């Protein structure tokens, strides 16, 4: 049961993240959501993301190890275009279809 969710309005950065995560982890489930609109960024910016990746590649690994794998996969984007990445990396055996929790409301940044 493989579920890789995408939206028609997905921008080029989100598509690239999805492609790289799919190629690296062959996920059973993958969500890539741009949350930039929730932050103090220019309209249309793709800088803040959350991803939920369910993969056999995460079996037997601690949370920090799973996050490091995702960060390594997306290292180039994290060094350039992606400002923030919220990761939910789940071993296939631990996934019961749960959705990733919504991100908290941005407080505006810049000392606000």
Per-residue pLDDT tens over the stretch 42-83 = 676 677 899 999 999 999 999 999 999 999 999 999 999 998
**Is pLDDT at 6 greater than 70 in this prediction?**
no
pTM for this entry: 0.80
Whole domain around residue 56: which residue ranges?
34-94
Q: What's the pLDDT tens digit per position in 78-110? A: 999 998 899 999 999 999 887 766 665 555 554
Q: Is-contact 38 106, C-beta < 8 A?
A: yes
Relative to beta strand 48-55, strand 84-91 is: parallel
Could you report the per-residue pLDDT of 26-38, keeping only the tens digit for each? 999 999 998 866 6
Domain count, the chain: 1
State CA 7 to chain mean position distance: 14
Q: Where residue 85 sits, what CATH number does that domain have?
A: 3.30.300.90
Residue 11 lies in a domain: no
Q: What is the dihedral of CA 58, 61, 65, 71, to 10 degrees?
A: 0
pLDDT at residue 4 greater than cutoff 50: no
Within a domain: residue 54? yes
pLDDT band at 41 (very low <50, low <70, confident <90, very high): low
pLDDT at 111: 39
Looking at residue 102, its pLDDT comes to: 65
Q: Is residue 47 part of a domain?
A: yes
């Amino acid at each position: 049961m493989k579920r890789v969710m995408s939206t028609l309005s997905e921008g080029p950065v989100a598509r690239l993240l999805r492609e790289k995560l799919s190629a690296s982890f062959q996920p059973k489930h993958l969500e890539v959501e741009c949350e930039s609109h929730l932050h103090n960024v220019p309209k249309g910016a793709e800088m803040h993301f959350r991803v939920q990746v369910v993969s056999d590649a995460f079996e037997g690994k601690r949370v920090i190890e799973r996050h490091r794998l995702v960060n390594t996969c997306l290292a180039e984007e994290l060094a350039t275009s992606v400002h923030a990445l919220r990761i939910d990396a789940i071993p296939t055996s631990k996934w019961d279809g749960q959705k990733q929790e919504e991100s908290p409301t941005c407080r505006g940044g810049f000392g606000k």
